[in-house]
Structure 1
Amino acid sequence: MEDYLELMATATIPIPLPTVTHAPPQFEHIHRLGHNTLWVGFVLMLISTITFIGLSWRVALPKRLFYQLTTYVTLISTFTYYAMATGGGWSFHHVWVTHEHKHDLPDTHKTVLRQIFWARYAEWLLTTPLILFNLGALSGLSGANILNTIVANAAMIITGFFSIYSHGGKSKWGWYAMSWFALATVGWNLTINARATSQRRGVQTVYTPLAFYTVVLWSGYLIIWGVSDIGRSLTPDQVAVAYIILDILAKPVFGFWLLFGQNKSNSTHINVEGAWSEGFGHREGLLRVGDHSRDEDA
């Protein structure tokens, strides 16, 4: 009996006794690559803005509105990239990651603080309506349909923003699905509704490629939202590189394409009525955008 007790006292019996420790939070933020990418974005947007300003002074007033709106787009992007490159326009998003284990072991948890540049979403809320207005004006889309497209676009951005900052797994993908539905509404107006009006105006050869180009690029933004800021499959540096590629294609490249294509078009009228073209005073509104003077008509 004594030998048995001595054996039990010295024996090593492997009993799984997991301990749950609180690990320090994991930080996911941009490094040198991402920071340099933001500065590159600032320089490219600044050069594009200066170029658009110079081009706008070389065209007649009837076509200058397209140049002005395009300049506003890259100008706002210039400010945004400068803010992000100098350390502003972002916050840490708290992500609670749970790792499930088998064999009746308790789940372990990890806190991740991921850097999110909310300044991008504020910039998109300002610049994308200008892009849509340019497309709507080029195609001759009615003011009501332009407004519907802009509202759907705002819904796409806001729901995408909510999907990133949502803490529930199901809720964030629900917001993300709403964002895709809003983009589908924008795409329908651009590729179906506005394309029909562009054919009646005779500008379909300029408008149609731009419309499909825009829908494809904006779909790329939503894909990046899903795989990076929601799914966390990309590092913040990779996200910065992906976004600058999309921003350059969606703003300066789109702007040059729009302006040079519209400049070759015979149609110079912009389908905007009311105070925009007629003004508020008695002496305003004698000339509409794209119309000749009354003396010349006489």
Structure 2
Amino acid sequence: MYLDHNIVEEVLRKTTTIPTPTPLPTVVPTVPEVHYETLHDTGKRTLWVVCVLMGLSSVAFYAMAMRVPVQKRLFHILTAFITTFAFLSYFAMATGDGIGYHQYAVTETKQHIVTHIFNRQVFWARYVDWSLTTPLLLIDLSLLAGLNGASILVAVVADLIMVLTGLFAAFGHGDGQKWGWYAWACIAYLVIVYQIAQNGTRAVINKDQKTKRFFSLLAGFTLLLWTIYPIVWGVADGARIVGVDAEIVAYAVLDILAKPVFGFWLLTTHDNMSRTSPTIEGFWSHGVSSEGTLRVGDDGD
């Protein structure tokens, strides 16, 4: 049987449906929002206020040092150095130096898409300050108690570890790294507490009653303040619950109490106890003696 190909084409055209092409879905990439967590007017004013207070305290401590014999100036010099370093640190931060940024991302849990990128200011000048001033504070307390050299060295090294691991935690990537460094800082702080509270209390037993009571009050005051520092870090740089301005204000209050207030309390009480306070002779007071030294040009004739 012969089939007309024209008829076949017409039948196929009527019975066959040609699908209409649909456009491909357009994929729109998610662009994360970038945020900057920085200080504002409150934070700037606070930095300048503390800078001025640290500077005035330093001048006052140096003046107090000049009023006592050189043999009794050790506490004055150490305490003046503490506020001097703090003054330089706050001057740096107030003028915009000693500040870095730590970047971290916030992701959508289900799709693991980065939705927000935050850049938070980290005041690394503050950690430089702490690495210099807190060992001097510990030396003040240790000398007041009569702590032995080995315990002082352990306390100072633990203090440096505490400050440096705190700095590493502030710039840590990921929660594991950040809180891991924070844990090491807390362990180092416990070593400091043991040296001052335990060994310091044992050492000061040999002192007079007034010195024992004064050391207990001053050491308790200092350790209480130092315990608040990691709490502030935890809610600021750690969990980022509070903003940069609130962080600056909190540290400013603690620094004023831990340095100028500590210093005035130590020095005024020490000066009132001058009859019983120790004196330092030898090189500290008189320098290198000229007796028995070789003089250039003497030929022995």
Q: TM-score range by the shorter chain?
A: 0.7 to 0.9
**TM-score under structure 2 normalisation?**
0.82
Deviation at 1:244, TM superposition (A): 0.5
| Deviation of 1:151 (Å) | 0.4
**How big is the shift at 1:60?**
2.1
State whether structure 2 residue 243 is matched by structure 1 residue 243.
no
CA shift for structure 1 position 280: 6.1
2:99 aligns with one of 77, 84, 90:
90
Aligned residue type for 2:185 = S
The higher radius of gyration belongs to 2
SS for the counterpart of 2:180 is: helix
**Is the aligned partner of 1:51 residue 2:57?**
no
Provide, for residues 186-235 of structure 1, a one-character-per-residue CA deviation record: whole Å limited to 9, x for no partner.
01111110111112122211111111111111111111111101111110
In structure 2, the CA distance between the partners of 1:20 and 1:218, relative to structure 1 (3 Å rule), is farther
Is 1:154 the equivalent of 2:163?
Answer: no
- Partner of residue 129, structure 2: 123
Equivalent residue, structure 2, for 1:205? 213
Please identify, of 259-268 and 227-236, the stretch whose mean Cα deviation from structure 2 is larger.
259-268
* Secondary structure in structure 2 of the residue aligned to 1:200: coil
Change (3 A) 1:217 1:24: same
- Provide closer, same or farther for how the CA distance between residues 274 and 19 of structure 1 changes in structure 2, counting only shifts above 3 A: farther
- Which residue matches 2:238? 230
Classify 1:227/1:35 alpha carbon distance in 2 versus 1 (closer, same or farther; 3 Å): same
Amino acid at match of 1:133: I
Secondary structure of the residue aligned to 1:21 is: coil
Partner of 1:166: 172
Query: Contact 1:133–1:146 (CA<8 Å) still a contact in 2?
Result: yes
Tell me how many residue pairs correspond in the alignment: 264
Shift of 1:268: 2.0
RMSD over aligned Cα, in angstroms? 2.3
Q: Which residue of 2 aligns with 1:294?
A: none
Q: How does 1:6-155 map to 2 (within 5 A)?
A: 20-101=29-110, 105-155=111-161
SS of 1:232's equivalent in the other structure is coil
What TM-score results when the alignment is normalised by the length of structure 1? 0.82
1:25, distance to aligned residue in structure 2 (A): 1.5
1:201 touches 1:267 (CA, 8 Å); kept in 2? no
CA distance in 2, matches of 1:206, 1:235: 37
Residue 250 of structure 2 aligns with an amino acid whose one-letter code is: A
Question: How far is 1:267 from its partner?
Answer: 3.0
Q: Distance in 1 between matches of 2:112 and 2:264?
A: 58
Looking at structure 2, the residues matched to 240 and 135 of structure 1 have their Cα atoms a distance apart, in angstroms, of: 27
Partner Cα separation in structure 1 for residue 234 and residue 147 of structure 2:
31
Alignment partner of 2:183 out of 162, 167, 177: 177
AA in 1 matched with 2:172 = S
Note closer, same or farther for the CA distance 1:124–1:200 as it changes in structure 2 (3 Å cut).
same
Cα deviation for residue 172 of structure 1 reads 1.2
CA distance in 2 between counterparts of 1:275 and 1:145 reads: 24
Do 1:100 and 1:108's aligned partners in 2 also have CA atoms closer than 8 Å? no
Correspondence for 1:9:
none
After superposing the two structures, state which structure 1 stretch, 221-230 or 20-29, moved more. 20-29
Comparing 29-38 and 160-169, the one that deviates more: 160-169
CA distance 1:283–1:143, shift in 2 (3 Å): farther
Q: In structure 2, what is the equivalent of residue 262 of structure 1?
A: 270
Q: What percentage of aligned pairs have identical amino acids?
A: 40
